[in-house]
Structure formats: C-alpha cells, structure tokens
A and B are shown apart, each in its own frame.
Chain A
Amino acid sequence: MTSGMRITIGAVAYDPKVVTIWEGIRDHFAGAGLLTEFALYSSYERQVEALLAGHVDIAWNTPLAHVRVRRRTDGTSRSLGMRDTDRDVRSKIIVRRDAGITSLGELAGRRLAVGSRDSTQARILPLYFLGQAGIEVGRIQLVPFDTDVGKHGDTGTSELDVVQAVHEGRAEAGAIGDVVWASLQAAGRVQSELVEVIWTSPPFDHCMFDALGWLPRATAEAFERALFSMSWDDPRHRKLLELEGLKEWVAPRESGYESLRAALDEQGAW
C-alpha cells in the first residue's frame, strides 16, 4: 500500500473519457468501502515501471503490458480481473473485394495495412498468426499505421486507419481486431460491397488489472469484490461500463496470453 488504507490505481489516458471512467469507479469503490486514488499515465511503458516501482498498487493494463509485468516479476504478479470483452478476442484480415485475395496465401506481394507496432490485435498477433498459418510474412508488403504508440492500440485510431486505407485502396488488405470491426459494421460504417473479411484468428485475451505479489490479500479481495459488484442493470454503473467497453467484469485467467508471449519472442518485441 502506498498510503495507508488508500490504494492507487494506474490507468493510461488514451481518451478524455478515461477521467470520467475513473472518477466514477473511484466513487463506486468508495461506496463499497475501498478508498482509491487514480494516477493517469500517457504510456503503458511508464505505467508498467510505476507498478514495478510501487508508485501505483494496481495497474489497468493492455495484454502487452500485462505479459511484460508477468515476465518482469517472474510470474509473481497478481492478476485481479478483466472485462468480459477481454476474453476470446480475435483479429481479422479484411480485403478489398476487387483485390482478388480469397486466402491468406494470396497476401504475398500485396499491401497489408497494419495497426501500431504496439497494438496486440492489429499488428503483433495478426502477423504472428499469419506465420503460424504458414505464411511468409516477409513477403507481404506492410503498410503500417504507427499512431498513438505507447497506448498499445487502445485508442483504436490505427485500426480505423487500417479500415480506411483498405476502403480507399491504399492497401489491398488489412489487419484489425474484432471489437472495432464488429462495432464499425453495427454502426453501418463498413462498405460491405467493397470490403470483406477473409480470415479470423484464433482467440486470445486482452486487458487485465495487475498488482504486484505483495498487495495484501485483503486489499486484493476488497478490490475484486467492489469491481465484480458493478452491474449493467444499475444506471450508475452502466454508464461507466459502457464507456469502458464491457458489460461485466470477470475473473482473471492466464491461458489467453500464450500466443502473445510466443509472438513477442518471435518478433523480439519484449
């Protein structure tokens, strides 16, 4: 604990709404008897260092930040919870219908738009999974959109860039995460006569609340109780849950990060 009974939660300010979210969660936690402060960082790299240095007690981490914390602590860190939407995320390969690409094998020599170099769903894992599927990634002409580096793809900006590039023909294909893709489709912002999906990746997991192993068990449990008591049917909670992109907080699991670890090994991107 950094200051008596008050714990500090770190989050990355990838959008102005982050303040609204954490003010709301802080109020909710206070109502549940857990006093918190939040500290906002502008990059996940800095947030990971802050967690390891004990400046914050708990960090709301991307998958990339999470696996780095696990590795830096030799697996002694404590995972506390994740969003329902963080489980079984998939990446998509989308193509222009006029590009004549119907399978991954046909990507060789073509332009593939990819998201930021630290985006798990739009860059790191799609390229890893392509390799796993037997595709020689080196033969694909990558069109990278390295926007908001440090935010690990949270802003979604690079994924929107990918979709736009494919729509406009600046790339024949693109890699994006399924949440952005499904949301764009539901909002009617995909021209399906121009662009379609040809491939969906295996599932992987996304964000996680991380703490170091020395966080007292009682504190960890109080945090989890307060977190899991947020309900979609409660209007006070619902607004926060909508902003944070979930309907329910769920228990942590580690099994969904194996592919990311392997990808970072392979890409030398730890």
Chain B
Amino acid sequence: MGTPVAAAAAVAVDGGDLALGGGLLALLRPALDRLEPGGVLAVLSSTRSVLDDLASWCRVERHEYLGTEEIAAGRQRHLIRRGSLGVPRGERERGGTLVAHDGRITASDLIASVPFPATADPATGFAPRGARVEPGGPAYPFTLDRADRVAPPEVAALYDQAIGAQWDASRDIPWQDVKPLPPGLDAAVGQIMTFLAENELSALYVPSRFIARIHPAYVETAMFLATQLNDEARHIDVFLKRARLGGEQSGPGVSSAVTAHSLHSLLVLEDFTEVAFLLSVLGEGTFLDLLRFIERHAPDAATAEIARRARIDETRHVHFGIDHVKHALATHPTLYARLEDAVRRRAATLSGAGSVPAPVIDALTVLAAGGLEPSKISAGHEAVQELMAEMHASRLKRLTHAGFTAAQAEMISSLHTPNFM
C-alpha cells in the first residue's frame, strides 16, 4: 500500500469525502462492474480511512488493490484492478431503447428490441431476456426451451389484442334482460351453460399445466396464456351465472360421461404442441361454431352477449393455436404424423363414448326451437344438424390453414371428439 503506481486507469470515480461503508461502495461497485476483468479504476478520495478500507475490501471481493498516491493535500488517488469474478459483460443486446409510437409501446415493440433466442439457456432461469446473468445460479428445469416450439411469431400481437379486449363479467353483460323463459327453455339454457362451463374449466386447467414449463426467455407466450386463462375464468363465471338465472327450471344441468372422458383425455396430455392442436385448433375451434349458434338462437340479449363475447375471446385462442401449430410444422415436418397420431390415440381412448352427449344435443335442439312445441322442435333439430355440418367444414378450413392436406384434414376432423372440445 502507498506505492505510487504506473498503471493507467481507464475510468475514475470521485468519492469525495465518502467513507467506504458510508456510500463510496455505491459509486465504486457500479464503476468496477462496467470494466472488463483486468481493467483499472481510479478512486479519488479525501477520506483517510479509505486508505485502510479499500485494500481489505478488494481482497475480500477478489479485486487487486494496486496502491495509492497523494494527488493534493489530503486527497488520494487509489487504483484498483477489476477481478475476474462477477457478472460477465457480455454483448450489448440488439435493438437498444424502446420508443413509444402514438403513445403506445406494444409487446411486439419489446420483442423487436430484445428478440427471442432460438434456444434458451437453462441457467438463465427467471432472468429477463437481455439481462446480464451472473454465473453460478442453478439450472432450471424448463422443458419448453425452443422458439420454434413455444414462441410463434404472432404471440406478441395476440397478447396485445388480449390485453385490450378484457371485459368485466359482472358489468358488461345485460343481466337485467334475463326473464323467466317458457317451460323447458330455461332448463335447456341451464344445460348448455353447464356444458360450456365444464369445457371452459378444462380450457383453464389444461394450458395452465404448461406455463411453468415455458422458459422465461419466451415469457410473452406465458403472458399470452395468462390472458387465455383469465378469459376462461371469466367465461366460467358468466356461464355459471347465466345457468342460475331465470325461472324455476333454471340451474346447472347434467355433466355427462362423454364430456368427462373427452376432457380427461386433454388433461393428461404432456406435449404442448399436441395441446395447442387438440384443445385450441380443434376443440376451441369447434366451439366458435357452437357459440355462434347459441348467440343466433339466444332467448335473451344477455345470453347472446355472453356467447358473442366468449366467441371473440375464443377466436384469439384458436388463432394462437393455429399460429403455434403452423410455426412448429414449418420447422418440424415430422410433426404432421405425430399430431395425426395424437388425434387417433385420443379417438381410440374415446371409442365407445358414443355421440354428442344426449342432454347437450337435446338442449341445443330446444334452444334453436325456442320452445317445446313439436312444430318448432323440427326446425331446432334441423338447425343442430346444420351446426354439425358447419363444425366439420370449419375444422377442415382451419386444418388446411394450419398446413394439413385436404385428405389429412378430412381424416382428422372426422375423428374429432363428439364432445366438440
């Protein structure tokens, strides 16, 4: 200590009369952090105790204290060589700073600034993309760690849309419009709402199993799924409220074994892309037609509004599912066979499950009929037959859009669960 040193300092901090334990470290540590290992920092100080404290601190922190010299009466210039431990400098991230456009900053803007990596490093854990990561942390067990399997190109835009489209289940539905309905129709609405709610429960639970597997480098996908879960929670909320509104025959209906088997077969899936395909592309896709049907035949404005709002949300989920599958198929052509296989396996599990659950098909028929009079029921029956045909046609369109051939699409759609979801 006390030896004047010849080393040239790249950077200097002026510590004034701060003691080491009295604030000097807050200037010193960031300045050292900005240097490469081996870089030299000059510390100017007019506090005598810094002479004693700095060398010891350097020893404990594995920096090299090079010495000091008096540069004016009572003012010292200490030199420190940065040690090799600490957080590596790394490359500065691309993109630089964010700029608001028309007062808005979107998730897409952020991704343009800090792009998704092709593969994610288990050691970066919960560190935000672009952060410098100190070595020595644990390896995280995130298994969804490849951009092509977890981060489709439109996820940020869909997230922004979802955030802007949130609505309030207690205020945004004209609940006051619900009046007691003709006998039978109340029970039909209760049955349909029960069916919708249980399917949406599965749509809440199934994706939630995958959020914790997504590497945080692809956090926008986890964030999008969080909006999807919030959507499903809201749908469950409005469906159950609607089921219990109305006359004497209102209230939840039957939960059928066909539905239970079908939803169970989704819950046990372990592959994220299979879930996106079976739940979102095929299941939620089919539900778009169902919700449109309910909206068209709704007995009151509240029921129509519930179906309309739920359909708009579900459209986003289907869009994400198609984007995900399309993106994954483009980079992994063998996935076609795997997804086809997943549909076959599920169909085999559900073989013997029969057709659309009877309470559901009956309730849809009564809803479309608008009452129990035989003359109306006939029209209702016809409307439900048309719905089935529409569902099949829409599935074919979505499958072709996702990249399947017409023959593959035909086979997959015909094997789809009789439960719709």
Contacts and interface: CB of A to CB of B under 8 A. Distances in A.
A235 B123 CA distance: 10
A183 B21 contact: no
A198 B49 contact: yes
A74 interface: no
Interface in B50-71: 52-53, 55-57, 59-62
B57 A196 contact: no
Contacts, number: 69
Contacts of B22: 190, 192-193
Nearest to B55: A200
Interface string B105-147: 0000000000000000001000000000001111100000000
A178 B25 contact: no
Interface of A: 84-85, 88, 90, 92, 178-179, 181-186, 188-190, 192-193, 196-200, 232-235, 238, 247
Contacts of A182: 53, 56-57, 59-61
A238 B53 contact: no
A132 B409 CA distance: 92
A115 to B, nearest CB: 17
A183 B138 CA distance: 25
A182 B52 CA distance: 10
Contact of B136 (A178, A183, A189, A238): A238
B85 A247 contact: yes
B139 A185 contact: no
Given A92-B52, A196-B49, A247-B85, A185 B136 contact: no
Interface of B: 1, 19-22, 25, 48-49, 52-53, 55-57, 59-62, 85, 123, 135-139
Contact of A235 (B49, B60, B138): B138
A178 B60 contact: yes
B136 A192 contact: no
B52 A199 contact: yes
Contacts of A200: 1, 52, 55-56
Instruction: Name the residue in B21, B62, B135 with the highest tally of chain A Cβ atoms < 10 Å from its Cβ.
Output: B21
A84 B58 CA distance: 13
Contacts of A92: 52, 56
Given A197-B52, A232-B85, A235-B136, A84 B62 contact: yes
A184 B21 contact: yes
A196 B19 contact: yes
Nearest to B18: A192
Contacts of A181: 53, 56
Contact of A233 (B21, B62, B136): B136
Instruction: Name the residue in A178, A196, A200 with the highest tally of chain B Cβ atoms < 10 Å from its Cβ.
Output: A196
Contacts of A232: 85, 135-136
Contacts of A196: 19, 48-49
A88 B351 CA distance: 77
Contacts of A199: 52
A200 B60 CA distance: 15
Nearest to A237: B136
B170 to A, nearest CB: 48
Given A185-B25, A186-B61, 14 more contacts: A178-B56, A178-B59, A178-B60, A182-B61, A183-B60, A186-B60, A190-B21, A192-B20, A192-B49, A198-B52, A200-B1, A232-B85, A235-B137, A247-B85
A202 to B, nearest CB: 11
A238 B138 CA distance: 10
Nearest to A87: B59
B84 to A, nearest CB: 10
Of all A-B residue pairs in the complex, the 9 with the closest CB atoms, nearest first, are A185-B21, A192-B22, A192-B19, A178-B56, A190-B21, A197-B52, A196-B49, A238-B136, A182-B60
B8 to A, nearest CB: 25
A179 B55 CA distance: 11
Contacts of B1: 200
A182 B61 CA distance: 9
B20 A235 contact: no
Contacts of A193: 19, 22
25 contacts: A85-B60, A92-B52, A92-B56, A178-B59, A182-B53, A182-B56, A182-B57, A182-B60, A182-B61, A185-B53, A188-B21, A189-B21, A190-B22, A192-B49, A193-B19, A196-B19, A198-B49, A232-B85, A232-B135, A233-B135, A234-B136, A235-B136, A235-B137, A235-B139, A247-B85
A189 B20 CA distance: 11
A247 B136 contact: no
Contacts of A84: 62
A179 B52 CA distance: 13
B142 to A, nearest CB: 16
Nearest to A88: B59
